[in-house]
Structure 1
């Protein structure tokens, strides 16, 4: 796992001292993503930078890495991620007369493009099973490929310039180059105010993301987007028992692949079905006793109050699973004061690089990884199980399912804190409706008898919306918070084979026992305590300490009294005061504070 960046300028030689300094500055922004090694490569119009977190072949995986012909590099790669099937690909490539100097997956990736990507890069990328974001420079054709994995687990941004492009694993790498402007326009502000992953909008004007499952090709002719993978209807014909067996087979194969590493590893354990099943399989296949890590808050279990989508505290279930599986377990217990430490909040914002926030859920995750880094460099996490198997309550609430919008959006948006004139100009309902229609237009058509079933069609739409417009925000959050501390997170439930197979299943299969995540439960019930098998879905825990809310409101009150605050021009005085005194909607207080910090710290100009 690493951080990558670079600069292509078809009208310049980037070997000048000034350009070299800018590349070094870009690369340095990602030191946390890659604390173990660094490297740069410059040749004419191309400049590539890399920071490495060594996970596989610690001694031999230095980047940028190149393939040479006649003593000259032909393909040069900077790469972030893991290719889980690299051993099989290496065997195939060796049989085709390729020779390797290292045991790294990076070198396998280079040779895969040399063998299968000469005519069509999509052919080479389609061979990969993994999470990845990489840039490949072809020295002969003077062409850059920017490639991102199928689900968007690893981030990759790019910024077109007059004569080429800037790119990086995070916006901060691009912003370190003087060609990039720090501007947020009205669409960028719209994106920050809605929990919908907009694949067309990165908040910063002019900056884009490589979309999941796509390649961005850059040459003198311009920038071209190519799709190498997308969800389709598989025409699922397996009955429920066969489907359950296939899910188990895929999970076992995926987790065995993702346990390959040359560093200490563990799992994130919440005591829910997803993380417990993952930990159970990891414990079965790992060569030694598996480590597990759990998040807790001071006094959380003793004083727990049930709230929507979290009916029970995690602690008792975590302890039961850890004991049942005999894991080497550690609880990381946090306090309200730790979550509110200025350094922690600043570090969380700079890890995000964007004004998105889940409040204490972000800072607690950051602190969780800070503690884990003392014991492990790699952890497995349960992201996407809910999106793949239908775990959220939204999937099972007819009102949310039938709503003519994204199912997870609440009716009460909380936007009343914005200046009324700005609110009218933003037209956030119109923006969200446009995003919703664009997303629906991408849903693959159903085939066979299911095509005639309105409920089946709607549930397939709902599953697609969660996988493509909800999950990306969670994957981004997990990547940023972990990589800010030099921890790699692998997400087995995002294996594209599993996602494809379960996406194609009828909704009746996914709920055959009249519960959420029926297929996952049936596929793993022999591995788990009955209490976990029966436990109702609970989300990521939020702190319930009133001290935390009070500290937030104190900060918010100070902000409202500061006329020079960066966010002040956006706010309604009356609406903000009402928000300050409200007993709920603390998440909007968090959002305003984060947006103000972002505009200030990143020196972002607003053009509304």
Structure 2
């Protein structure tokens, strides 16, 4: 796992721009604390920060090879889990390797197959190749969008990077955000390719972007497609387990310490149990980590989002699988710490926050990094197998909008924090409606598929192409901010394709969420986890957290000229600071968190806001 960046300028000699390239590269230091490298030649310059995972001495980048008397240079972030098979195939075709790294395999794969190398990779990756032979940059992103990848077109080329901060370090990139960018910030619709910053775009998942003197072109090498599912229940369950066993085995490969993120839910528990069984074959123990809050288990109060605390289930799994387990216990003040908030915002480059859940995720990863460099996570199982409440809610099923937004106000409160004139200019409901219509337009219907099954297919498609990308980006940024590589087995494209095409009647055959996953792993998970109802990532219930937030918000209100008040309503924030902390409405808590996030973002990035 690494951070990559680069600059293509067909009208310049970029060897003379070393200072700027260094500045771009150093913004990626958190993603790659182990090594750095830069390469420049003619109109191309590439930068790399390395987190060493595979072949620690041999995988340095940028990596180059000479072909036809010209240089082909690669900067690569991620992991190709099938690199061993690809290496053998390439060797049989005459390629010679000098390292044991997957990076070199990808580079030689490009020499052999060109851009089509992407179709042969199983993994998470974002990489760029400068091919001097044809004076072309090739940028490729993994199928599910696990690894982030951004670019910014310039008059004579392009800037690119793993994160916006790398691009923004170049003077050619403007730090401006328009109304359309603010709309994207304020919604959970994750428009493909949208990067919020004016002029900046994401390389879309499953996409190749090429840049040469003729301009920029894109083509899609993978997308979620509708296919008939002909397996019966028993065969489907067996196939899911077969895939999971293979995926976990591949993703446990590393030359550094690895561990499991364990929440006590079905997803992480299943992966932990499978990993424990596999590593037990070689007399190795699994290390597992979970987040908890001071006093949370003892004083837990069930609500409509979370019916049970995580810790008892976490410990059940740790005992059953024999893991070497550690709880990372956080207190309210650390969750509300402005320094932690600033680190989260810096990691995201945007004030897109899940409040204390982001603060706890960052601190969890920071603590884990003291012991491990790689962690496996249960992220995306809910999107793949159908785990969220909205999959079972009739209103969400029938609504012509993104399913996760239907009960959003009920769950998180109705906020009126924005200045009224800004809210009117943004017209977020229209933006969401247009985005939804675009999102569902391309969902293919199976011949003979019932109206109900097609509606559930659409819901699954929306979760897998929109919502999951919000969560994948969140997890990548929080983990890479501390140099931790998080792998997501449930995003293996083989599993995604197979389960996506299983009809909803199979995915919920026992009337519960994630029926296929539960049945496929019933032999390895404790009965308590098998019977547990889905519970989201934990959030602190300590009233002190809100009290501390209110104090920080009062300090912000005292800064009367702060630019945050060009966006939010001062009186609305004041009302949130005056609410009674133990019974504070969810909307007020969210307003406090978002106001503080927004203020820190404005302080850190000083963006030009185009509000008209």
TM-score normalised to the size of structure 2?
Answer: 0.96
Distance 1:101 1:489 in 2: 27
Assess if the C-alpha contact under 8 Å between 1:3 and 1:169 holds in 2.
yes
- 1:198: Cα distance to partner? 1.8
Assess if the C-alpha contact under 8 Å between 1:60 and 1:103 holds in 2.
yes
Aligned position for 2:416? 416
Q: Does 1:158 align with 2:151?
A: yes
Assess if the C-alpha contact under 8 Å between 1:309 and 1:537 holds in 2.
no
Q: Equivalent residues in 2 for 1:193-208 (5 A)? A: 193-208=186-201
User: 192-201 vs 404-413, which deviates more?
Assistant: 404-413
- 1:426: Cα distance to partner? 0.5
Q: Equivalent residues in 2 for 1:203-218 (5 A)? A: 203-218=196-211
Aligned position for 1:427? 427
User: 126-135 vs 577-586, which deviates more?
Assistant: 577-586
Q: Does 1:299 align with 2:295?
A: yes
Aligned position for 2:134? 141
Q: Equivalent residues in 2 for 1:308-327 (5 A)? A: 308-327=304-323
- 1:72: Cα distance to partner? 4.0
Q: Which runs of 4+ in 1 moved over 6 A?
A: none
Secondary structure of the residue aligned to 1:365 is: helix
> How far does the alpha carbon of each residue in 1:316-360 deviate from its partner, in whole angstroms, 9 at most, with x for none?
011111011110101100001111223212111111111100011
Aligned position for 1:437? 437
Aligned position for 1:565? 562
Secondary structure of the residue aligned to 1:126 is: helix
Aligned position for 2:38? 40
Aligned position for 2:236? 243
Q: Does 1:483 align with 2:480?
A: yes
Aligned position for 1:503? 500
Q: Equivalent residues in 2 for 1:388-467 (5 A)? A: 388-409=384-405, 410=407, 412=409, 414-443=414-443, 445-450=444-449, 453-467=450-464
- 1:574: Cα distance to partner? 3.7
Aligned position for 1:595? 598
- 1:539: Cα distance to partner? 0.5
Assess if the C-alpha contact under 8 Å between 1:4 and 1:80 holds in 2.
yes
Q: Equivalent residues in 2 for 1:306-385 (5 A)? A: 306-385=302-381
Distance 2:356 2:96 in 1: 49
- 1:407: Cα distance to partner? 0.8
Aligned position for 1:176? 169
> How far does the alpha carbon of each residue in 1:36-74 deviate from its partner, in whole angstroms, 9 at most, with x for none?
11100000000000000000000100000012136642x
Aligned position for 1:52? 50
Distance 2:575 2:399 in 1: 29
Residues 70 and 423 (structure 1), Cα distance of their counterparts in 2 relative to 1, 3 Å cut: closer
Among candidates 511, 521, 532, match of residue 535 of structure 1 = 532
Aligned position for 1:10? 10
Q: Equivalent residues in 2 for 1:18-167 (5 A)? A: 19-69=17-67, 72-73=70-71, 75-117=72-114, 121=115, 123-167=116-160
Secondary structure of the residue aligned to 2:151 is: strand
- 1:309: Cα distance to partner? 2.4
Assess if the C-alpha contact under 8 Å between 1:344 and 1:363 holds in 2.
yes
> How far does the alpha carbon of each residue in 1:97-142 deviate from its partner, in whole angstroms, 9 at most, with x for none?
111111110010011111111xxx1x22100000000001110111
> How far does the alpha carbon of each residue in 1:213-268 deviate from its partner, in whole angstroms, 9 at most, with x for none?
11111111111111000000121111111000000000000000001100000100
- 1:156: Cα distance to partner? 0.4
The count of corresponding residues between Structure 1 and Structure 2 is 598
Distance 2:408 2:43 in 1: 51
Assess if the C-alpha contact under 8 Å between 2:48 and 2:61 holds in 1.
yes
Distance 2:518 2:422 in 1: 47
Secondary structure of the residue aligned to 1:254 is: helix
Q: Where in structure 2 are there 5+ consecutive unaligned residues?
A: none
Aligned position for 1:607? 610
Distance 1:270 1:573 in 2: 38
Secondary structure of the residue aligned to 2:22 is: helix
Assess if the C-alpha contact under 8 Å between 1:446 and 1:457 holds in 2.
yes
Q: Where in structure 1 are there 5+ consecutive unaligned residues?
A: none
> How far does the alpha carbon of each residue in 1:384-435 deviate from its partner, in whole angstroms, 9 at most, with x for none?
0000000011101111111111111146373412111111111010011111
Distance 1:574 1:436 in 2: 33
Distance 2:83 2:304 in 1: 43
> How far does the alpha carbon of each residue in 1:368-392 deviate from its partner, in whole angstroms, 9 at most, with x for none?
0111011110010001000000001
Distance 2:564 2:487 in 1: 36
> How far does the alpha carbon of each residue in 1:467-510 deviate from its partner, in whole angstroms, 9 at most, with x for none?
11111111011101111111100000000000000000000000
Assess if the C-alpha contact under 8 Å between 1:309 and 1:393 holds in 2.
no
- 1:560: Cα distance to partner? 2.7
Distance 2:442 2:577 in 1: 40
Distance 2:301 2:192 in 1: 37
TM-score normalised to the size of structure 1?
Answer: 0.97
